[in-house]
Amino acid sequence: MAYSTDALTLMREQPNLRYVIPKTGSSLWTDTVAIPTTAPNVEAAYEWINYMLSPETAANVVERLKFATPNQIAFDKLPKTLKTNQNLFPSPAVVSQCEGIAPVAPKIADTFDRYWTQLTSA
């Protein structure tokens, strides 16, 4: 299990590795940018967010760090090799089999934690 950015880097270094999304799907993740209520410079935070969301910067982030972008204008600026990279931008059919991660009830979370602890402590 790996983040897609790490998997892409590892596959370049080790050609025998593959990035696989199960046919039954996987979890979808998103990065979130938030401004804490205690931020000392909210205006600068908004400027940073706007900078990161600009098409030129977003395209540069995809090219340099291999983070996918939902920004269509940034996507349009990418070289074809990145646009067609199914590891970076899975097809709509693959994405439709995946689902977002949602909070679970505390009782279920306790069960997950118990099994995760058993798995990682073995």
Q: What is the DSSP string of 45-97?
A: HHHHHHHHHSHHHHHHHHHHH------HHHHHHS-HHHHT-TTTS--HHHHHT
Q: pTM here? A: 0.73
pLDDT tens per residue across all 122 residues of the chain: 778 788 888 998 999 998 888 989 998 888 889 999 999 999 999 999 999 999 999 999 999 999 899 999 999 999 999 999 998 999 999 999 999 888 888 889 899 899 999 999 97
d(CA 86, CA 100) in angstroms, rounded, equals: 19
118: its two tokens:
């058993």
* Structural domain count, the chain: 1
Range of the domain at 72: 4-121
d(CA 20, CA 2) in angstroms, rounded, equals: 10
Question: Smallest Cα–Cα separation from 71: which of 49, 87, 93, 86?
Answer: 49
